[in-house]
Structure 1
Amino acid sequence: MINYLCLKNMVRKLRKKKICFVASSGGHFEQLMMLEPLMKRYDSFILTEKTSYEVKVDGLREYYVPQVNRKEKDYLLKMLRNSLFSIYIFVKERPDIVITTGVLAVIPICLIAKLFRKKLVYIESFAKVSSPTKTGQFLYKYADQFYVQWESMLKFYPNAIYLGSIY
């Protein structure tokens, strides 16, 4: 079972380090919130999409980027805006680790983290049992640790770590 104890191993030596928890709104964010005990144990903040879905985690700073949909005409403009804002947040917060459950709006902060040689942890969506996400396929190349929640997903991500569900 993937839970905060599994990821704790990666960050156990980093007691004074900062973690960015990032996910799109909705189900991806709900999965990320399964790691709330880890969020509260370390100096953490949340980056998510700005939607009608409200994020409130006591004691954590929250930042919002515009929601991005590949099918919208202004998709590239939103990605540029998300990238610039992600640079601002990264410089302001200086996270040592980025932990994400995806999707598109989170890619800029993940790539910025790797550019600055920080750790990236990706958790593929629980909903993906028989096919990978586009974000997962892209970030698989960059993630220091890549988790899948279904053993069947190892055929798409052979170097991933399967520990079960985060639920």
Structure 2
Amino acid sequence: MNICFVASSGGHFEQLMMLYPMMKEHNSHIITEKTDYGINSKGIKTYFVTQINRRELLFILKIVSILIKSIIIFIREKPDVVISTGALATVPICVLAKLFRKKLIFIESFSKIHSPTITGRIMYKFADLFIVQWEEMKKIYPNAKYGGGIY
């Protein structure tokens, strides 16, 4: 099985890397944001997209850039499944997964106990499997699966 693991930088990437044992077992690649500080993808093939902030003036241009790069990566890698821990930079590849009729798994952030993330609200509508890490989040996402903490 070919799996695309996708996350923004920082804590979202940290949570994604908790899935490393699964990454090792499958043909996997990672898509994450390019930052000034390095990342440790533990030898898994990694692609970088532009880091974005929804409050930036160039936000729309950057999201289009990410979409174009995501299309290229998606066509090259042909994933069967996309697994995301958020956030915003991951939306284009997740939407592509659905357009290409691939499975999409979204894991809502561990840091969210009582309120949803913006990306979570978007992905809840699209994900084939939506996982929350806190039982309390089932009130917000009633069709989600409680998976416990990723840590």
Normalising by the smaller structure, the TM-score range is: over 0.9
Decide which of 78, 89, 93 is 1:94's aligned counterpart: 78
CA distance in 2, matches of 1:41, 1:52: 30
- Name the structure 2 match of 1:125: 109
Q: What residue identity is the alignment partner of 2:46?
A: E
* Map 1:25-40 → 2, pairs under 5 A: 25-40=9-24
Correspondence 1:72 to 2:69: no
Equivalent position SS for 2:120: helix
What do residues 38-80 of structure 1 show as CA deviations (whole Å, max 9, x unaligned)? 0000000000000023223343210000111110000000000
Decide which of 118, 124, 128 is 1:140's aligned counterpart: 124
CA contact (8 A) 1:49 1:66 kept: yes
Equivalent position SS for 1:102: coil
CA contact (8 A) 1:25 1:53 kept: no
Correspondence 1:47 to 2:31: yes
Equivalent position SS for 1:108: helix
Q: What residue identity is the alignment partner of 1:136?
A: G
TM-score, length-scaled by structure 2: 0.98
- Name the structure 2 match of 1:159: 143
| RMSD of aligned alpha carbons | 0.8
- Which blocks of at least 5 consecutive residues in structure 1 are unaligned? 1-16
CA distance in 1, matches of 2:42, 2:10: 19
CA distance in 1, matches of 2:37, 2:73: 21
TM-score, length-scaled by structure 1: 0.88
* Map 1:9-28 → 2, pairs under 5 A: 17-28=1-12
CA distance in 2, matches of 1:146, 1:53: 30
Residue 95 of structure 1, CA deviation: 0.4
Q: What residue identity is the alignment partner of 1:127?
A: S
Number of equivalenced pairs: 151
CA distance in 2, matches of 1:122, 1:53: 25
CA contact (8 A) 1:126 1:150 kept: yes
- State the identity %: 59
CA distance in 1, matches of 2:58, 2:147: 38
What do residues 17-43 of structure 1 show as CA deviations (whole Å, max 9, x unaligned)? 200000000000000111000000000
